[in-house]
Structure 1
Amino acid sequence: MKAFIVLVALALAAPAFAAPAFGRTMDRCALAREMSRLGVPRDQLARWTCIAQHESSYRTWVVGPSNSDGSNDYGIFQINNYYWCQPSNGRFSHNICGMSCNSLLTEDITNSVRCAQKVLSQQGWTAWSTWHYCSGYLPSIDSCF
């Protein structure tokens, strides 16, 4: 009987620790190759992979904890919902990327890449709080190709 109770408790707890049904966890090379296929310049890929590593550990499905202004950050590049995407809760957003925040949480990283490129073009690399990890020398991504 005790074994049955333990198994039931583990079964109920398991979904809380498992990745969601949508989204995926990538690795450095998979992200670099996919971003390259999406047209991201090769000389930017080491920086983008560094940002993704430090922002989300390469997880596309991550929603960060609330920031001091109540906003949240979404997806592999942790894009902020106050400025760049529309949260599903109806909260005000400038929605500069013109997309829902949930579209940044899927296996397909196209929306995340396009929105991150827009952030970069308007605010530069320093838009990401983890930029200091990625501003110096970075290992080459050449072995990924």
Structure 2
Amino acid sequence: MRALLAICILALATPAVLCRTMDRCSLAREMSNLGVPRDQLAKWTCIAEHESSYRTGVVGPPNSDGSNDYGIFQINDLYWCQPPSGKFSHNGCGLSCSALLTYDITDSVRCAQKVLSQQGWSAWSTWHFCSGALPPIDDCFK
């Protein structure tokens, strides 16, 4: 009985270790450290806020085509990552969707940059929230 209880507690605690909730400035600083141009950071933080509330471990509900969106930027599994189910994916980023759900956002950032380079900012359905004037990001670097 104790072993079962320990397994249940470990199973509940594990996701908290593997994913995290960031905030605007922690995301901006980490993306900057990963080489993302500073003039893009306000847009990226806005997208992350509206797509996942800055949470790295989010898997969105099924889209109308049956696909799902993963991670802090809600990257689509039909086009950009291989879902754990093994269903068909174009897998444009060449990675598992589970790689987009971790504490380390490097894969999410690299994949999101690839999406941006191929489809532009409008690839994100929440872009309309982020396409106008945004608060400056400079206060995150003081």
TM-score, normalising length: structure 2: 0.89
**Deviation beyond 3 Å, 4+ runs, structure 1:** none
Could you say which residue in structure 1 is the equivalent of 2:38? 42
* Aligned residue pair count: 131
Determine which of 64, 74, 78 is the counterpart of 1:82.
78
Per-residue deviation, residues 49-91 of structure 1 (Å, max 9, x unmatched): 0000000000000000000011000000000000000001100
Cα distance between partner residues in 2 of 1:56 and 1:142: 22
Paired residues of 2:83 and 2:97 also in contact (CA < 8 A): yes
Q: Where in structure 1 are there 5+ consecutive unaligned residues?
A: 1-11
- Is the aligned partner of 1:22 residue 2:18? yes
1:32 and 2:28 equivalent? yes
1:20-58 deviation digits (Å, cap 9, x = unpaired): 442000000000000000000000000000000000000
1:113-136 CA distances to partner (integer Å, 9 max, x unpaired)? 000000000000000000000000
| Fraction of identical pairs, as percent | 78
Match of 2:135 in 1: 139
Question: Counterpart of 2:54?
Answer: 58
Distance in 1 separating the partners of 2:98 and 2:113: 18
The answer to whether the 8 Å contact 2:17/2:103 transfers is no
TM-score (normalizing by structure 1):
0.87
In the alignment, the residues of structure 2 paired with residue 64 and residue 27 of structure 1 have an alpha-carbon distance, to the nearest angstrom, of 19
Q: Say which one has the larger Rg.
A: 1
| Structure 2 alignment gaps of length 5 or more | 1-8
RMSD over aligned Cα, in angstroms?
1.6
